[in-house]
Structure 1
Amino acid sequence: MTEIAASSTGKPEVHISVIHDDESEYIDGPRVVAILAVLFLVSLTSQVDRMLPFIMAEAVKSELSLSDAQIGLLTGIAFAVCYTLLSLPLARVSDRGSPRLVIVSCTLVWSAMTALGGVAASFMVLAFTRFGVAFGEAGGTPAGHAIIARKIRPERRGLAIGLFALGIPLGTMVGFAVGGAMSDTLGWRTVLIGAGALGGIIGLLAFVIVGPTPPRKTATTSGEPFLHASVRLLSSLGFRWLFIGAMISGFAAAPFYAFAAPFLMRTHGYSASEAGLAFGLLQGLMGIFGTLIGGRWFDRAARSGTGRVLGPPGILFLIASVTTTVALFVPVPWLSIILLVPAMLSFAFMLPWGFGAAHLVAGKGKEAMATSLVMIGSGLFGPAFGPLIVGMISDAATETGIPNGLALGMLAVPAASALTGVAILVASRRIAASFRNIDIG
Structure 2
Amino acid sequence: MSDATAGGPGGAAASEDGYPAPAVAWAMVAVLFIAYIFSFIDRMIIGLLVEPLKADLDLTDTQVSLLQGFAFAIFYTVMGLPLGRLIDRSTRLPIVAAGVALWSVMTASCGLAVHYWQLFLARMGVGVGEATLSPAAYSIISDSFPQKRLGLAMGVYGLGSAVGAGLAFLIGAVVIEMVANAGSISLPLFGELSAWQATFIIVGMPGLLIAGLFIILPEPPRHGVAAGTVREAVPMREVMSFIRKRAGAVLGLCFAVGMVNFAVFAAVSWFPVFLIRVHGMDLASAGHLAGGALIIGGLIGLVGGGWATDRFGGGTAAGRLAFCGFAGLAGTVFAVIFPLAGSPALSAIAFVVFFSAAAVPIGAAASALQQLTPNRMRATLSAIYLFVVNLIGLGAGPTATALVGDTFFPFDDGVRYAIAIVSPIGFAIATGLFFLSAGYARREVNV
Indicate which of 411, 418, 425 corresponds to 1:415: 425
Q: Is 1:196 aligned with 2:204? A: yes
Q: TM-score, normalising length from structure 2?
A: 0.87
Q: 1:363 to 1:436 in 2, by over 3 A?
A: farther
The count of corresponding residues between Structure 1 and Structure 2 is: 417
Superimposed CA distance per residue, residues 201-245 of structure 1 (whole angstroms, 9 cap, x where no aligned partner): 11112221x224577736986654135404522541111211221
Q: Is 1:428 aligned with 2:442? A: no
Aligned to 2:274: 263
Aligned to 1:327: 338
Indicate which of 139, 152, 155 corresponds to 1:146: 139
Mapped to 2, the partners of 1:231 and 1:62 lie a distance apart of 51
Aligned to 2:57: 64
Aligned to 2:286: 275
Aligned to 1:185: 178
Q: 1:36 to 1:297 in 2, by over 3 A?
A: same
Indicate which of 78, 86, 91 corresponds to 1:93: 86
The amino acid that maps onto 1:145 is Y
CA contact (8 A) 1:317 1:343 kept: no
3-state DSSP of counterpart to 2:342 = coil
Indicate which of 372, 378, 390 corresponds to 2:389: 378
Q: 1:307 to 1:423 in 2, by over 3 A?
A: closer
3-state DSSP of counterpart to 1:151 = coil
Q: 1:336 to 1:213 in 2, by over 3 A?
A: closer
CA contact (8 A) 2:243 2:250 kept: yes
Q: Is 1:298 aligned with 2:309? A: yes
Indicate which of 281, 299, 303 corresponds to 1:288: 299
Indicate which of 17, 30, 33 corresponds to 1:40: 33
Shift of 1:398: 5.0
Mapped to 2, the partners of 1:391 and 1:404 lie a distance apart of 12
User: Superposition pairs for residues 234-249 of structure 1, below 5 Å?
Assistant: 234-236=244-246, 237-249=248-260
Superimposed CA distance per residue, residues 364-385 of structure 1 (whole angstroms, 9 cap, x where no aligned partner): 2322223222211210133222
CA contact (8 A) 2:257 2:361 kept: no
Mapped to 1, the partners of 2:158 and 2:2 lie a distance apart of 25
Mapped to 2, the partners of 1:21 and 1:268 lie a distance apart of 59
Q: Is 1:405 aligned with 2:414? A: yes
CA contact (8 A) 1:359 1:366 kept: no
Q: TM-score, normalising length from structure 1?
A: 0.88
Structure 2: gaps (5+ residues): 6-10, 180-194
Mapped to 2, the partners of 1:270 and 1:94 lie a distance apart of 45
3-state DSSP of counterpart to 1:308 = helix
Q: 1:393 to 1:213 in 2, by over 3 A?
A: same
Mapped to 1, the partners of 2:317 and 2:19 lie a distance apart of 27
The amino acid that maps onto 1:124 is W
Q: 1:238 to 1:220 in 2, by over 3 A?
A: farther
Aligned to 2:182: none
Superimposed CA distance per residue, residues 172-193 of structure 1 (whole angstroms, 9 cap, x where no aligned partner): 1111122222134231211211
Mapped to 2, the partners of 1:324 and 1:75 lie a distance apart of 20
Percent identity over the alignment is 25
The amino acid that maps onto 2:128 is F
Indicate which of 126, 130, 133 corresponds to 1:137: 130
Mapped to 1, the partners of 2:357 and 2:4 lie a distance apart of 32
Q: CA RMSD in A?
A: 2.3
The amino acid that maps onto 2:268 is Y
Shift of 1:21: 5.7
Shift of 1:163: 1.5
Q: 1:288 to 1:230 in 2, by over 3 A?
A: farther
The amino acid that maps onto 1:162 is G
Mapped to 2, the partners of 1:72 and 1:79 lie a distance apart of 10
Q: 1:215 to 1:304 in 2, by over 3 A?
A: closer
The amino acid that maps onto 2:423 is V
3-state DSSP of counterpart to 1:310 = helix
CA contact (8 A) 1:96 1:215 kept: no
